[in-house]
Amino acid sequence: MPEQTVVVTIAHGRHHHLREQRRALHALSPDTAHVIVAMDDPDIDEVAGRGSGTTVVHVAGDPRGLPLAHARNVGVEVALAAGAGLVVLLDVDCAPGPQLVPAYERAAALAPGALLAGPVTYLDEGTAIPPDPWLLEGLRAPHAVRPDPPAGELERGGDHDLFWSLSCALTPATWRAVGGFHEDYVGYGAEDTDFGWTARSRGVDLVWVGGADAFHQFHPVSHPPVEHVADIVRNATTFHERWGRWPMHGWLDEFARRGLVTFDGDSLRLVGA
């Protein structure tokens, strides 16, 4: 097992979610260090508190959108510099399940060099993290599109298109092999798919880890995410330039149907830009 596991969370707002994540992490894995990267949010220091094993790092905002890829890279590098043998990326919306950390640690030993990902349950509106986070097991209803192997089992040879940084883990060697998140992606969309494709292009297996459950705390979302249309157009264009294929095709088609973009499968443009 790794010498030290470090959870890395990037955050801008979502203060209640961060408090609940930290409460669950402390209750379930009290010896696990936590690196929090605040994106243009000075209040994160107060929200995070000054608990042992907690490091808060600040990165500047970007006028184009939140620097998600850059913030993840900073967080992982801080964790590795502190001696992490395993880094767990966990979105600020997500609380760890009771076995998330030990399941990822076991998987890292069994599948060295792999990119590890775990099931995520999206909690319904009004469903909070229980006072006793061990009870989260009773709320499991993993996202149907991602694999959900039985606890203690690994599903190797995963589809890299399904990779998400919402909850994932990797060793320093795997991080170096992939090379981090591509920082041309700013704001919402495509940086995870790019990371997955880069991993695949470099021979890094995607392994789904049974038992490494995370629980996504409810917040309203829109379908499609029209508030992020400018970010999605910019990031989709970057992805197309890098890989010769359009990501998020369903969203782009729906944006075109609504007259927000022009998209014909060959070119993409934000209407009014």
Q: What is the pLDDT of residues 59-88, one digit of tens each?
A: 999 999 999 999 999 999 999 999 999 999
Mean pLDDT score across all residues of the chain: 95
pLDDT of residue 221: 82
The domain boundary, picked from 170, 185, 216, lies at 216
Q: Are 154 and 257 contained in the same domain?
A: no
Domain contains 156: yes
Q: Are 119 and 155 contained in the same domain?
A: yes
CA 164 to chain centre: 6
pLDDT of residue 161: 95
Domain contains 52: yes
**CA distances, 255 to each of 8, 185, 191, 221, 237 (Å):** 33, 20, 19, 16, 14
Domain CATH for 26: 3.90.550.10
Q: Up-side HSE of residue 88: CA atoms within 13 Å toward CB?
A: 32
Total-model pTM: 0.96
> Does the pLDDT value for residue 2 go beyond 60?
no
Domain range holding 249?
A: 226-270
Q: How confident is the model at residue 242 (pLDDT cuts 50, 70, 90)?
A: very high
Residue owning tokens 């967080």: 75
pLDDT of residue 272: 78
Apex 102 CA angle, 33 and 56, nearest 5: 15
> Does the pLDDT value for residue 220 go beyond 90?
no
pLDDT of residue 3: 73
Q: How many domains does the chain have?
A: 2
Q: Are 72 and 150 contained in the same domain?
A: yes
pLDDT of residue 181: 98
185-217 pLDDT per residue, tens: 999 999 999 999 999 999 999 999 999 999 999
**CA distances, 233 to each of 22, 79, 252, 268 (Å):** 34, 32, 8, 7
pLDDT of residue 52: 79
pLDDT of residue 222: 82
- Average pLDDT estimate for 122-131: 96
Domain contains 147: yes
The Cα 193–Cα 230 span in angstroms is: 18
pLDDT of residue 256: 95
The domain boundary, picked from 216, 238, 253, lies at 216
